Amino acid sequence: MASCSVSRFIPENEHLLNDVKIHSTDKAVSTSQMQGYVLQHPNSRWFSLVKVPMGPYLMSGRDTTKRINRFLQRVGQAPVIYDQTKAMKTRSNMEAAVRNMGFLGAHVDLLERKKSFKLNALYDIQTGPRYHVRDLEFIIPDSALQVYLDSASAESNLYRGMPFDLNVLDAERSRINRLLRNKGYYRFNKEYIRFEADTTLGNNLVSLAMIIDNAIVPGGASRAPHQQYHFDDVNFQQDSTSRNLLRKNVLRVKNAIREGSLYSDQQVQQTYSNLSSLGAVMNSNVAITPDEKDSTKLDALVSVTTNKPHAFNLEVEGTNSAGDLGAAVVLSYQNRNLFRGSELLNVKLRGAFEAIKGLEGYENQNYLEFGAEVSLAFPDFKLPGISRDFRRSSNATSEISVMYDNQNRPEFHRRLVSATWRYRWSQQNRQRQHRIDLLDLNYVFMPWISRTFRADYLDNATSRNAILRYNYEDLFIMKWGYTFSYTSQPLSGATGNYGTNAYSIRLNVETAGNLLYGLTTLMHTNRNSQNQYTLFNIAYAQYAKGDFDFSKSFRITPDHSLSLHFGLGLAIPYGNSSILPYEKRYFSGGANSVRGWSVRGLGPGSFKGQDGRIDFINQTGDIKLDMNLEYRSHLFWKIDGAAFIDAGNIWTIRDYADQPGGQFRFDKFWRQIAASYGLGIRLNFNFFILRLDGGMKAVNPAYSDARHHFPIIHPRFKRDFSLHFAVGLPF
């Protein structure tokens, strides 16, 4: 039926392009790399198997005046009709590309294999022998250029014995051009660099000479050594019609062009990057002009246009917690230029309500929350001792914030007060990012706990839960932390890009309570009934925590990629704490973890939750392991698909009576690693992704008998399936 439906759209004497394959006689020629030269691809397949994206188009009729037919043809893919002209152009481009790699005698054959109305195209690459460089000579009449090139010779792409690859030669031209333009040679460009090659030596050897010509003198009659230029005056200009002007000192700090220094492309680009990091700046421009008095100097005019200073935002959320419906409203205000220095003031007000029903033993009280947060970010390091060069070479912010949150539930009332002082900065196209929480204070207190909740869980001798009890006591946390992240791809505004063989690393460390512990032990302050030191009669937390995440993407074709992720976390309570605060404990399961389990539904270890009301506390741990493998494929329109395998779990450092089987042990932890598999659908708008993932349990460590321990062999959809909705990629 599918074949008949396709044939309706294939003109007479034409063929459907069914498949395109590439074969090479030499492994040095990557067939995946050669895919980039293919001008016509067949219809895309789901997970490289079935041409489902073409399906909606085939369901349409020929009458395009009907709305349904236009819709089906728009969301589907039209059958790709084989175009021999494009195929021959592909063959020619591919042959030229292989010869440029040093296979000077290479040729590519196009084989067309027809069957019925379908056609398979095969590009057969016959490489022949590869040429290598025997002799290497540098001809540089300008001795000043020679000095700079010699100082950076270790970075050169050229060496005797290398393959005669024109792509490498072009990369060397770009490297030299970049080097010299950062050393004052403002008028230098790649066209001054050329190569001469003698391929007649025999034995597939080449004699190669790199020549850097002198500069063309105005008029073109003669040549002279290249001229170095220095920056002279740097001036600043703002939109005169704007009332939201920046202080000139802010522009001077963000300006990376140093007066009197050699011209540098890098300084100009860093200036653009620094200015774009200012929230008050809408766009910027750096104009370079020769100095009227001295032909060896350049003047720079840095001009900016500012944004509107004020912004308001309203967010409305809907919640469903085990059938209890609720809503939340967040009202925020921003001032992007509070003190005319691009300071960002952010004020947020949040209110939430949830209708709680069927809660036996408690007063008929709904959940009510309101909170406020005020933060102020400065576009610079507000810290003494930071050099001016470092301030110019990095995009930094200094942030202070305070927050108050008020939560009232039928079981308890909870208050949270926090204050933070942190620094953020990034380098190298925002690929390297740093964050230091210099001071992070959190005060959690419980002004009221219902008698029923206290009797059932906190004071009942038969059900006392140390972890639960600890997290319903007043607590003070004073921590310090550092976070480093790196991605091999320069960051952009798009978050829907799966990456091109990119990888990312994230490292986080934090400690809490050490300074307070030193002071309280030195002063011999009193301890509470749990033998903890207190500050103003409030116990403080003491712990150390570290997290490591690594993810890597392998691009198979433009529509298919494979991504993997590894995450490890370890947190240790010590000194004044025997248990981690709830907010610092790890959980497993959910949209970004092992997706066969609901959030906070897995672990620790082989522990199986028994009390749904407090399992969100019990199913937490001090150690976390996550391993994920995901195959991503473009389906059609803006719809992407994924097939994934997840594995991991959490464990506790100590053996807690209320979490039997949860302690980490080297001799058995590997048997407690949970696994799941599943499929996902993503709505990819490039700048953000809406994601729906369905996971099935494969290995369940909560059970020891084979029937329940391996649900992959004995699956039960109702028991083993979890559905997750999220925004953004899982890793």
162 has pLDDT over 80: yes
Task: Kindly list the distances between the CA atom of residue 235 and the CA atoms of 249, 298, 329, 528, 710, in Å, as whole numbers in the listed order.
Answer: 12, 12, 46, 64, 70
Q: Is 588 in contact with 649 (CB distance < 8 Å)?
A: yes
Q: What is the pLDDT of residues 486-508, one digit of tens each?
A: 988 765 544 444 556 788 999 99
The residue type found at 229 is: Y
User: Which tokens belong to 519?
Assistant: 């002071």
Is 711 a member of any domain?
yes
CA angle 427, 432, 438 (to 5 degrees): 90
- Please give the helix or strand (H or E) that residue 91 lies within, else none: helix 84-100
Handedness of CA 386, 390, 392, 398 (dihedral sign): negative
Is 72 a member of any domain?
no
Peptide bond preceding 410 in cis form (omega within 30 of 0): no
Residue 672, classified by CB atoms within 10 Å of its CB into exposed (0-12), middle (13-18) or buried (19+), is buried
573 has pLDDT over 70: yes
Rounded to two decimals, what is the model's pTM?
A: 0.81
Q: In which band, very low, low, confident or very high, does the pLDDT at 550 lie, cut at 50, 70 and 90?
A: very high
Is 676 a member of any domain?
yes
Gyration radius of the chain over CA positions: 32
Which DSSP letter does residue 52 get? Answer: G
Q: What is the pLDDT of residues 45-100, one digit of tens each?
A: 765 556 666 767 777 776 677 777 777 777 677 788 999 999 999 999 999 999 99
Name every residue whose Cβ is closer than 8 Å to that of residue 53 and which is 6 or more positions away in sequence.
43, 44, 45, 46, 76, 77, 635, 636
In terms of pLDDT, which residue wins out, 164 or 531?
Answer: 164
| Chain length of the chain | 731
What is the pLDDT averaged over residues 627-654? Answer: 91
Most confident range, picked from 113-117, 229-233, 363-367, 618-622: 229-233
In terms of pLDDT, which residue wins out, 316 or 324?
Answer: 316
Q: Which of 205, 224, 243 is the last residue in one of the domains?
A: 224
Phi, psi dihedrals of residue 133, rounded to the nearest 5° = -85, 120
Q: What is the pLDDT of residue 2?
A: 45
- Mean residue pLDDT across the chain: 88
Q: What is the pLDDT of residue 104?
A: 95
Q: What is the pLDDT of residue 614?
A: 66
The CATH number linked to 149 is 3.10.20.310
Q: Which of 224, 242, 277 is the last residue in one of the domains?
A: 224
Can you give the residue range of the structural domain that contains 136?
A: 132-224
Residue 580, classified by CB atoms within 10 Å of its CB into exposed (0-12), middle (13-18) or buried (19+), is buried
Long-range contacts, 112-117 (Cβ 8 Å, 24+): 112/84, 112/87, 114/15, 116/3, 117/6, 117/7, 117/10, 117/14, 117/15, 117/16
Is 118 a member of any domain?
no
Residue 84: beta bridge partners? none
Q: What is the pLDDT of residues 533-548, one digit of tens each?
A: 988 888 999 999 999 9
Within a 10 A sphere around the Cβ of 457, how many other Cβ atoms?
20
Is 215 a member of any domain?
yes
3-state secondary structure of 455: helix
In terms of pLDDT, which residue wins out, 388 or 625?
Answer: 625
Is 327 a member of any domain?
no
Q: Which of 202, 224, 246 is the last residue in one of the domains?
A: 224
- Please give the helix or strand (H or E) that residue 544 lies within, else none: strand 543-557
Q: Is 103 in contact with 94 (CB distance < 8 Å)?
A: no
Q: What is the pLDDT of residues 248-287, one digit of tens each?
A: 899 998 999 999 999 999 999 989 988 988 999 999 999 9
453 has pLDDT over 90: no
Q: In which band, very low, low, confident or very high, does the pLDDT at 244 lie, cut at 50, 70 and 90?
A: confident
674 has pLDDT over 70: yes
Is 633 a member of any domain?
yes
Q: Is 679 in contact with 641 (CB distance < 8 Å)?
A: yes
Q: In which band, very low, low, confident or very high, does the pLDDT at 388 lie, cut at 50, 70 and 90?
A: confident
Is 591 a member of any domain?
yes
Q: What is the pLDDT of residue 422?
A: 96
Domains of the chain: total: 2
